[in-house]
Chain A
Amino acid sequence: MRKVLKGNGAVAEAVRLARAEVISAYPITPQTSIIEEIASMVSRGSLEAQFIKVESEHSALAGCIAAASAGARTFTATSAQGLALMHELIHWAAGGRLPIVLADVNRAMAPGWSIWTDQNDTLSQRDTGWMQVYCQSSQEVVDSVVQAYKVSERVLLPTMVVLDAFFLSHTYEDVEVPEQVMVDRFLPPLELPHRMDMERPAALGNLVFPDRYMEFREKMDLAHGVALGVWEEVGREWGELTGRPYGLVEEYRMDGAELVLVTAATTASTARPVIDALREAGVPAGLLRLRVFRPFPAERIRAILGGRKKVVILDRNCSFGHHGIFHQEIKSALYELPHGEQPVLHGIIAGLGGRDITPDDLHGMLDGAWSGKITAPVTWWDVLPVKDRERAAVTMVEGG
């Protein structure tokens, strides 16, 4: 059924369709309306679930971990500082091999205090063992949340489904909400193999000596490898059921593309008409959208980008001191290419703290890289000019 929903409403609809059994969550802007809507569904009876109100995000995820350990399908949602507060338990959920699904509405980390979008909150959780999917539309949000349960429950790893603050979370748009019958066929009830069971007593989370710890960690790494194939398979199956197939990455006008924009989330949607315009102007431009960031589809990316001339990697995030994070990861993936097939990479850091990334910005980045005007390996886009870098680096005031 087609409906007008905002991104946060799309998350709630998907959680209802997935028949989550335990929702444990704490409010934070811009995520709050996700759990408000789910709470309302639970009280109306349109979702049969336990909604646990907690006193912090740390407890929110603890609630999911406990319920998931008992074999329940669980959900939580958060943003920015809330996700950071969960961090200890983010590791616990992955190490416990619990298929929890968490929606994170990307919000910039404080200070400076911000409620607007960027990706540093979720990318700071990169090394926890969670899978991460970045969405470009509310349609993809609905579809990805349901898919995330299927993949998570197959490979026993939790998933973060990520959506941009405001550009998705608070934007109403028309969305196809799948039928419950179809989702029920797609997503059978959770059967967690290592769930707590009174008939089969076992200890969870106990001390693991050095002679065994590494094997558990290797299993997580192996699961990420397996998950690459599972995301592809599940994305194809979803496509057969709905007409909306998904992959690990999305290619747009990549045939013969010599100038490639690599980016994720809503910016990748905005970029498509820009790529069209460049093509019309005779510039051989294409777009590679990162969707599944963990597991990281290094081989796919290498196959797609090998032999291209110039690649502009737009990061709405930064690993301070060393590039945007997508830029780092792509650079490492391309290392195995033969020398002659290495494209020139230009990292662009843009849109932090919710600054808009407009079609004009994207034209500027791509024209700049193509014409050779942009030469630096990393460019901070659209920032106030810095006169004295040394001085600017050690002053707290704006500019410098």
Chain B
Amino acid sequence: MIEIRIHGRGGQGTVIASQILAEAAFREGKHVQAFPSFGSERRGAPVAAFVRLDTEPILVRTEIYEPDGLIVLDQSLILQKLVDVTQGLKEGGWILVNSSHPPEDFAHLGPYRLATVDASRIAAEHRLGSITAPIVNTAILGAFSAFTGLVGLEAIAEAISATVPVKSEANVEAARAAAVAVSVAEPAPAGR
């Protein structure tokens, strides 16, 4: 079973990202769970959403405490230390950050597999949301597919088309662009 935690801010489509990811994996024949952090959400405040993927039916019905990987929609959560994003992240886990910086800039997070993609720029180029508040949740899933290989890009595209009613083509194109643009760090040396 793969467990993923998605960090973002209220209004960025964090919960929708978890749903699209689950829908995409489901289309590849996986059993899935996707859920928000169980609380009330406010626009701009840090939020999290969770995804489980498995080839077997998923029996565990609890929150996720030790994810295999993280998707961070807003790098300010890390840079301003608003959230301890790596809390509980499994050893050797992966982190994908929406950032214009190279992934090596996040090496301070620990010995994890790192990748970045400028999903904000890609989303803005595809006119998703506004330039100041781009909607990055679909773009970053393209990068997720290319980085982790856990879910194919075609399934992500189908899930976006099925889930996102507005500008669904632009959202799919943004995911495809992000899949190409994602930048993956060289593996960190052991014990770092």
Residues of A within 8 A of B32 (CB): 4, 172-174
Which of A48-56, A350-358, A381-389 forms contacts with chain B?
A: A350-358
Which of B33-41, B109-117, B166-174 forms contacts with chain A?
A: B33-41
In the bound complex, CA of A292 to CA of B77 (Å): 45
Which of B26, B34, B40 touches A171 (beta carbons < 8 Å)? B34
Which of B53-61, B131-139, B142-150 forms contacts with chain A?
A: B53-61
Chain B interface residue number, banded = 20 to 34
Closest to A138 in B: B33
Whether A172 lies near B34 (C-beta < 8 A) is yes
Residues of A within 8 A of B31 (CB): 173-174
State whether A4 and B19 are in contact (beta carbons under 8 Å apart), knowing that A270-B59, A357-B62, A358-B62 are contacts in the complex.
yes
B36, B59, B61 — most chain A CB neighbours (10 Å): B61
| Residues 93-134 of B at the A interface (beta carbon under 8 Å) | none
Closest to B60 in A: A270
* CB-based A-B contact count at 8 angstroms: 65
State whether A356 and B22 are in contact (beta carbons under 8 Å apart), knowing that A115-B40, A170-B36, A173-B32 are contacts in the complex.
no
| Residues 50-92 of B at the A interface (beta carbon under 8 Å) | 58-63, 65
Which of A116, A136, A171 touches B33 (beta carbons < 8 Å)? A171
Chain A interface residue number, banded = 20 to 34
Whether A359 lies near B62 (C-beta < 8 A) is yes
B15 to chain A, nearest CB (A): 9
Whether B61 lies near A172 (C-beta < 8 A) is no
Q: Which residues of B contact A (CB under 8 A)?
A: 18-19, 22-23, 26, 31-36, 38-40, 58-63, 65
Q: Which residues of A contact B (CB under 8 A)?
A: 2, 4, 6, 115-116, 136-137, 164-168, 170-174, 266-267, 269-270, 272-273, 354, 356-359
The list of the 10 closest CB pairs from A to B, nearest first, reads A266-B61, A166-B38, A171-B35, A172-B34, A173-B33, A358-B62, A269-B59, A272-B59, A270-B61, A4-B26
A-B contact pairs, 17 of them (CB 8 A): A2-B26, A4-B34, A6-B35, A164-B61, A165-B38, A167-B38, A170-B38, A171-B35, A171-B61, A172-B34, A173-B22, A173-B31, A173-B34, A269-B61, A270-B62, A273-B60, A356-B63
